[in-house]
Structure 1
Amino acid sequence: MPPTVLTSYAVPPQPPEPAGGSADLPAVRVRSARDLVAAVPHLLGYRPHESLVVVCVTDESVLGLVARVGLDDLAREVVEPPAGRERAVDRLVAAARRVGTTEIVAVVHTARDPRRIRRTVDPALAALELAGDVEPWIVTPEGYRGIDCSDPSCCPPRGRPLAELEHRAVNAALVLAGRAVAPSAEEAYRIVPASEARRSRAARAAARADRARAAVDAAAGALGGRSSGAAGSPPSSPSPMPARTPSSMPSSTRTDAARRASSGYDLWCDLVRHAARELRTAPPGGTDLPPARLGRLAVALAEVPVRDAVLLSTIPGADEVARRTARGAADLPGEAHARTPGDAGPGDAGPGDAGPGDEAFDVEAATARAIARIVDPRVAVRPDPGAVAAARVVLEQVVAHVPRRWHAAPLTLLGLLAWWQGDGGLAAHRLAAARAVDPAYRLAALFGGVLSAAVPPGWVRTREVARGADGGGRGLDAADPSVG
């Protein structure tokens, strides 16, 4: 397995919203390389262990990228260079170049003998020079120092006290900006299970919804001449109706399946609106959604059309294609789809898309246009913070409430949202958890290839082509990173 390079791209601030809308948090100014060394745990969200962390400052003097790779991965590549595939350090260099890097602060976090670590990190540091000027540091349990500093008054052999890093002003500013530090990545990314009583209610609701789904699938399988699989667990390589096509299904069965998927997507939209209200009014961490509805949503997400519609619903302008995707090819006869603003889903109809009553609406073409807004640098958009925050709350609460066998779909969606936001570390963790639940989950396998190649979301490559059009860098301003 190739080593994982966890890349987190800095999202440029959005322009202030009109009429008193919320603007981005004020930038946190970083005045020295030591400030960036101190900021690393806050930027990652956890304290790294046995890692090389690369912090890239762009030609606009803003933070563009934070990337982490394990020292053991680098060491294996030194001993046995990979044949026929890209090295981890090559992916680091490519990622750094995408954001217009000019300065790199490379920080080695290790509890091992620093003299032995040089054999592992020196080739990586030399390669990073291809992307920008590199200033290397090392942080050990005893202290921190510049790797190449030979002045004992500046960097004693055993390093300067770690307390100097902990008490720098940039740390306080990052804490005020909401960047907490967990003791490990596992702790930072952990989804805390709900209480036993809430989990029990959600599990009972999921079981009821699954029995109803199984009854419909069994009837469709009998009428269509094929088996639709066993009840009681989500499909391992999910397809909402794997053995049936609309033309081979009786019209009543198509209608039942379409209504079920449409109902699942409506449930998602209701819970997202609920979460958005809670995020505006509830204290941090105080968002509680109805357990029974979360249980029903978990079963709905096992249906590919519902899962795909949920992903589409987070993309600006893709609400109509999301709804049609949830219904699948089996349209609900006679059903009106016009919406009022109060009934709208998480997204809005995009320009140039056919309206709800347009029979010529091309679902595949509209889906391609929507996905392009995530992956294609020519048309890519940044995720809407409010919409993604509400979606993440719903998906995380599904994971916190329902039995583990239903986790693959919500965890994969959480990984995709994290990747779109530029957080490769969180994306990789969610994807690994999804594949641990179901190694054959196809969307997770496809997404795994994207992460393994360290491919960034489209808005990162948009900045690569037209750097400077958006300005800024996720609330961290490296005013003078070269100052020691």
Structure 2
Amino acid sequence: MTTTIRTNEPRELLALIPYQLGFRPRESVVAVSLRGGTRVGLVARVDLADLAHPGHGPRVARSLVGHLLDDGATAMVVVLYTNADLDAAGNQAIARLADAGEPYLPEPECWVVGRDGYYAPACRDPQCCPPGGRPLADLEATRIGAEMVLLGAPVVDDRADLARLPRPDEAARRSARRAAKRWTDRARRTGGADALARWRREGLEVWRGLVEGADPVPPTLGRCQAALDDLLVRDAVLLDLIPGRAGLADRVVAGSDGSEISAALRELVDPNEGVAPPDRVAAAATVLAAVAGHRPRAAVPAVTLLAMTAWWQGDGARAGVLVERALASDPGYRLAVLLEQTLAAGMPPGWLREPPG
């Protein structure tokens, strides 16, 4: 989302940041790209401790500024979120970003959002920035805040909440677990390529049924989870969400050599070909969350695909937390590793990127 903010309205920008991130930052530094001086572009967050670190802090600052420049920034705003008073670590973090941007961008405007108030550390006017800062309640009574509430934009209090999954009761989880085992055992007993292709096709149909509104009962969710453990079914599920690619998904589970997959995936990442997520992606995300919630210890494929849908919908913050969750369970899971690299490079989906001039 690109939002126009007048430079004399800092509280509008500060009100926008949690909605852009999807959560309220804590002990963090947020760098905001301003395109043309007034249009908010990339909003990037790092931990305060990482930016202030004596060893790798300068590298973090250079990387962050690099992402803003790639976004087309002509100016930068730096916002420090901390419950402590502005101390050496906070000043160091702000200075590092200013130094990293200095060859390319004007001196950044800086703000601190504390426990009870917000203020500009360079401001000496008590009418503008009284002791303790202006009240945080000011940030709730803004045009941006009102618009986001009307749009139903969610903001959670903690970053980890972005990856929160449904928590069904033990009986439901046990039922899903049994169904998943039966479905997996069936695949292991399958003899021959044709029978395995039929099993995969049935798994893809289980998925499609859930997305189209089939009752998400635990046994069906368990079968879906077991099907997603198969890499061809997982890839077909992702392709099935791209408009016009359902036929390719069918060919993949039938044993296609996959030569068409790279062209299809360009529609996710290439700014010249990027397509916006269709409405069914939201339904798919609901199904994936339910699948993962019923099998939390065996849900790396579902969590990774859920992260992919979040990234495709432009929610990089949620995608990042979900990828971390997937990699914590399986550090070598290739699709999660690739998405983590995409997020680390600050690359939004193709439909949100401007094609090169």
1:57: Cα distance to partner? 3.4
Quickly say closer, same or farther: Cα 1:167–1:191, change in 2 above 3 A: same
Task: Pick the aligned partner of 2:83 from 111, 117, 132.
Answer: 111
2:239–2:245 contact (8 Å) kept in structure 1: yes
SS in 2 for 1:365: coil
Pairing 1:61-76 to 2, within 5 Å after superposition: 61-76=38-53
Amino acid at match of 2:164: R
Task: Pick the aligned partner of 2:66 from 76, 94, 104.
Answer: 94
1:42–1:181 contact (8 Å) kept in structure 2: yes
1:103–1:132 contact (8 Å) kept in structure 2: yes
Amino acid at match of 2:316: G
Quickly say closer, same or farther: Cα 1:320–1:60, change in 2 above 3 A: farther
Aligned to 1:55: 32
Aligned to 1:273: 212
The normalised TM-score by structure 1 is 0.67
**Gaps (5+ residues) in structure 2?**
none
1:28–1:174 contact (8 Å) kept in structure 2: no
Aligned to 1:433: 325
1:189: Cα distance to partner? 2.7
Is 1:293 the counterpart of 2:220? The answer is: yes
Aligned to 2:306: 414
Aligned to 2:158: 184
Amino acid at match of 1:292: P
Aligned to 2:93: 120
Pairing 1:382-421 to 2, within 5 Å after superposition: 382-384=276-278, 386-402=279-295, 404-421=296-313
The normalised TM-score by structure 2 is 0.90
Cα distance in structure 1, aligned partners of 2:99 and 2:176: 53
Task: Pick the aligned partner of 2:267 from 368, 373, 378.
Answer: 373
1:398–1:410 contact (8 Å) kept in structure 2: yes
Task: Pick the aligned partner of 2:249 from 311, 322, 325.
Answer: 322
Percent identity for Structure 1 against Structure 2: 38
Larger Rg: 1
1:427: Cα distance to partner? 1.4
Cα distance in structure 2, aligned partners of 1:28 and 1:380: 24
Amino acid at match of 2:245: A
1:307: Cα distance to partner? 0.3
**Gaps (5+ residues) in structure 1?**
1-9, 13-26, 221-252, 276-287, 330-362, 467-484
Cα distance in structure 1, aligned partners of 2:38 and 2:271: 23
The 4+ residue runs of structure 1 with deviation greater than 6 A are: 27-31
1:52: Cα distance to partner? 0.8
Is 1:196 the counterpart of 2:170? The answer is: yes
Cα distance in structure 1, aligned partners of 2:79 and 2:72: 20
Pairing 1:116-155 to 2, within 5 Å after superposition: 116=88, 117-128=90-101, 130-131=104-105, 134-155=108-129
RMSD over equivalenced CA pairs, Å? 2.5
More helix by share: 2
Quickly say closer, same or farther: Cα 1:393–1:60, change in 2 above 3 A: farther
